[in-house]
Amino acid sequence: MTKLFGTDGIRGKANRFPMDADTAMTVGRAVARLFFQPGRGRILIGKDSRLSSDMLESALAAGIASMGADALLAGMLPTPAIAFAARAAGADAGIVVSASHNPYWDNGIKIFSGQGFKLTDAQEADIEALVQKQDLSEFLAPSEKIGRIYPLESAGQEYLDFLSTVWPDNLSMRGMKIAMDTSNGAASLLAPEAFTRFGAQVEVIHNQPDGFNINDQCGSQHTAGLQKLTVKCGADLGLAFDGDADRLIAVDETGKRLSGDQILLICAIMLKNLGKLQKDCLVTTVMSNLGLRLACRKHGLRHHASEVGDRHVVEDMQRLGAVIGGEESGHIIFLDHHSTGDGILAGMQLIAAMLRSGRPLSALSRLMDVYPQKLVNVPVSRKPEIFSEPRIAAVIREIETGLGENGRVLVRYSGTENLCRVMVEAQSAELAETGCNRIAEVVRSVLN
């Protein structure tokens, strides 16, 4: 069977399998078949700003309608807004057309349950099986029961109203200046309005999507422009989102970039001080910096590392009873408020932590010492089990032995691209770079 789902939905080059119109229509049919019960169902669709999103949205909607369900088109909205809207509208499922932080020529399909959670492995396998079947004509609705396609124009404002309920009544952003980079993506209109609602003055860049410029040297992956803007305009902090705004990367008032790990720690300590950090637990992934684990120990937090992917983080949060979790890349989940990673919500919580502590973001960032990290993405032509290759296993063990307890090595495949990610952390940047390059060289030689 063709493997469709990676760590975050289905993803690929636009207008090529699996991101072609035919496959998208089949996925729409499969989602309708899996989620809605006999009778009229409703499936909500949102999208980001890239060129191919209209095409894929239309194909998904056609597939859904052909199965007898209605497709509700929410338009260009952040992924977390679609997860919220699906739940608020009582939809059977929600679908987002987005390739997140990837360039415009890629696209993707993310699927949520009607409760706003990403699919389980079993649900993904069911959809893959239906897509593999291709001919779903036996399940098509009769002519008189074909579904309709409706616009859902209120979804964006309803999401903003939801965010307003999350912001503490005893805090105000009045007098604050926020620099913002919306990555020419799905949050280009909505994110500045969200923070303006709370009284902040917002200076925004990269908020003019044209179908091609999403994530183009901007947003959470490329923060140089935001760092300059933050210092130039004297902002209290900068907030950078990715193309679908489920990630947040922050910049302090001096222009220094904070990682997702630092944001998670700051917010977890805030919740602990408020008595709201259930079981004193913070859930991240194996990709989190070694400095985060040490900081959790120092500040009395229990740290749990899940598999890579915010879906796995959420699953472990639910199992452990945790209320905050996320990824170093900036996916941050506040499970008391939302079912998925939300960049705008995370930005609000980070500002709340600043206001409650009375300290600038530069001071809060020092709650954690970030270990130097080197990450190399190695293109590969095959993906065998990492430790099944003797040369790769040997060089990994050699570097790990040299680092001892003062560093770590992580080698894993990308779930969405033909890449092997090699990461080394050490007490010095030189040691991290030397070890990482050594492993990457062997991986490149063996897997190509």
Q: Is 100 a catalytic residue?
A: yes
Closest CA to 187 of 72, 98, 60: 98
- Please name the residue ranges forming H helices in 276-360: 290-298, 310-320, 343-357
Alpha-carbon distance of 301 to 39, in angstroms, equals: 48
Torsion angle of the four alpha carbons 383, 387, 391, 397, in this order, in degrees rounded to the nearest 10 = 140
> What distance in Å separates the CA atoms of residue 326 and residue 98, rounded to the nearest whole number?
20
Q: By C-alpha distance, which of 206, 256, 207 is closest to 230?
A: 256
Q: Which residues contact 220 (CB under 8 A, 6 or more apart)?
A: 101, 181, 183, 240, 241, 242, 247, 248, 249, 329, 330, 343
Q: Are 273 and 408 in contact (CB under 8 A)?
A: no
The residues pairing with 241 across neighbouring beta strands, listed in sequence order, are 248
Q: Which burial class, exposed, middle or buried, applies to 357 when counting CB atoms under 10 A from its CB (0-12, 13-18, 19+)?
A: middle
Query: What's the distance, Cα to Cα, between the start and end of the chain in Å?
Result: 24
Positive or negative: CA dihedral 12, 15, 18, 21 = positive
Half-sphere exposure of residue 201, counting CA atoms within 13 Å on the CB side?
A: 8
Longest dimension (CA), the chain: 70
Residue by residue, DSSP assigns 359-424 as --HHHHHTTSPPPPEEEEEEE-S----GGGSHHHHHHHHHHHHHHGGG-EEEEEE-SSSSEEEEEE
Tokens of 46: 């949102």
Distance CA 36, CA 354 (A): 44
SS3 category, 171? coil
- Catalytic residue of the set 100, 113, 188, 306: 100
Beta bridge mates, 10 = 5, 109
Token digits for 136? 């779903």
29's tokens:
């049919």
Which residues are known catalytic residues?
100
